[in-house]
Structure 1
Amino acid sequence: MHWVSDHADEYGLDRNNVFIAGDSAGGQMAEQYIAILTNPEYRSLFGYEPVDLKFRAAALNSGAFFLLDPGMIAGELNAYFPKDIVEKDRRRISAEDYITEDFLPCYLSTANEDFIHDQPIKLDGFLTARGVEHVCRSYGDKDNPQPHVFLMNQKDETARQCNEDEVEFFRKHMG
């Protein structure tokens, strides 16, 4: 983000209207970055200096949240999160512990056949309890099943609708 901020004027970026989006693991990283931006205590764990950008809202799609829940770090994820790192960095891994009402407004999306469908649904309830403005949508049904990160399929009508829904959410949050 520092590079983006440093080059914003060069590329004509509107510093006053910046949005964050992430899919799957990128959804988790976006969630973590928003917690860093909006919670000084969490930010101090990373030694992060805020940038000169006004973040307005986020879209977290098919995100993997609550990484410290049993079973979330399994299989291939063990390569990214070995046990010794998880133990050492628990506070930094658990972004949800630092989500406050200052968290950015979020559009959460998932799909009926997303293998981590329950993660955005759980985050929906969590954000409600924290008083964070958000929308949570699950796309697809038995006649039109949708997989993990379905919204990348630009030829699919349901994916197109999800992307349009997110853009409309962002429009409502422009400064």
Structure 2
Amino acid sequence: MATIDIPTMRIQMRENDEKRDAGLTEPDTLEIFKDLSYGPYGIENTFDLYYPKGTDKCLPTIINIHGGGFFYGDKELYRFYTMYLATQGFTVVNFNYRLAPKHQYPAPLEDTNALMNWLIKHGKEYHIDLDQLFLIGDSAGGQLVEQYATMTSNLTYAQTFPFKLATVHFKAVAMNCGAYFIGQSGAINQEFPFYFGETVTPTLKSQFPVENYITAEFPPAFVATATQDFLKDIAPPLADLLKEKGIESEYHLYSNPDNSDLGHVFHLNQKTDIAKKCNDEEIAFFKRFL
């Protein structure tokens, strides 16, 4: 695989994301807490938290894992999307995690787990209902949702990781335009060498493909993609696998009514009706499990 120019890609991706969000404003209907810390890695272990103003009890809680190919992205680029989710009657956690290539696998999973431990310890102070947790993510974040939900629902799999799993249970998950089936058709580090490193250890090799470890205990799942999502072809096989395991799930292939292109992580664009449709349908799916 050709070496990718990560610094250049980060610049280009950020320009596109900032253009997407230009002109948006934060809603005045939310209580907003920014730059809370859940771990020892500085800004990479910070998070924002939102819930509707006037909240006086714990709310069902959505934790968002951002995308970006494991090397890009942060909570700032997800704030308008996650704030919208919070306006629908949820507490929402929007967090940073350590990125490749400086930090390699399984750093994002370890950070996700550290966040969960923080929420267990402090969550009630921020109206988090630990008995009604939902996990959502897109692209690389969709893969992390899949993997972390597999860990929490298959403790034998979780025991292969070098950290103790937080005691959490997810009522449901949503995976948007995710990077599934890593290692299914070749070397684990073929697609993301900067994330997995050059040496594939026996333990690393044994942890993939993640899909081999999904059991009937995996949470109910909403799987979404789009007509021009470059990862769309791997979404239906995941949805089929979930159904084969007896997991309650929905699969959605979104398209624009005018047949114009609808690309990767389209649901983040708060200016479009199709993004609202996807996000509202995922919220409705979550509410079925309250």
Fold in common (TM above 0.5) = yes
Shift of 1:70: 2.7
- 2:216 aligns with 101
- 2:242 aligns with 127
Code of the aligned partner of 1:143: N
- 2:156 aligns with 41
Distance of aligned partners of 1:114 and 1:54 in 2 relative to their CA distance in 1, 3 Å threshold: same
- 2:75 aligns with none
Moved more, 8-17 or 63-72: 63-72
- Give aligned-pair identity as a percent: 34
Shift of 1:115: 0.4
Q: Which runs of 4+ in 1 moved over 2 A?
A: 47-51, 69-75, 85-88
Distance of aligned partners of 1:80 and 1:159 in 2 relative to their CA distance in 1, 3 Å threshold: same
1:89 aligns with 2:204: yes
Asked if structure 2 preserves the Cα contact closer than 8 Å seen for 1:21 and 1:30, the reply is yes
- 1:112 aligns with 227
Asked if structure 2 preserves the Cα contact closer than 8 Å seen for 1:101 and 1:130, the reply is yes
CA distances 1:53-100 after superposition (whole Å, capped 9, x unpaired)? 44200000001111012368545x211123423654012232211111
1:152 aligns with 2:250: no
CA distance in 1, matches of 2:201, 2:160: 15
CA distance in 2, matches of 1:34, 1:12: 22
Gaps of at least 5 residues in structure 2 are: 1-115
Q: Which of structures 1 and 2 has the larger relative contact order (alpha carbons within 8 angstroms, sep 6+)?
A: 1
Distance of aligned partners of 1:92 and 1:79 in 2 relative to their CA distance in 1, 3 Å threshold: same
- Secondary structure in structure 1 of the residue aligned to 2:123: coil
Asked if structure 2 preserves the Cα contact closer than 8 Å seen for 1:113 and 1:145, the reply is yes
Shift of 1:158: 0.5
Distance of aligned partners of 1:169 and 1:118 in 2 relative to their CA distance in 1, 3 Å threshold: same
**TM-score normalised by L of structure 2:** 0.56
Code of the aligned partner of 1:79: F
CA distance in 2, matches of 1:163, 1:137: 12
- Secondary structure in structure 2 of the residue aligned to 1:101: coil
1:50 aligns with 2:166: yes
CA distance in 2, matches of 1:143, 1:151: 16
Moved more, 86-95 or 97-106: 86-95
**TM-score normalised by L of structure 1:** 0.90
Cα RMSD over matched residues?
Answer: 1.8
Asked if structure 2 preserves the Cα contact closer than 8 Å seen for 1:113 and 1:147, the reply is yes
Higher strand residue share? 2
Asked if structure 2 preserves the Cα contact closer than 8 Å seen for 1:86 and 1:93, the reply is no
- 2:251 aligns with 136
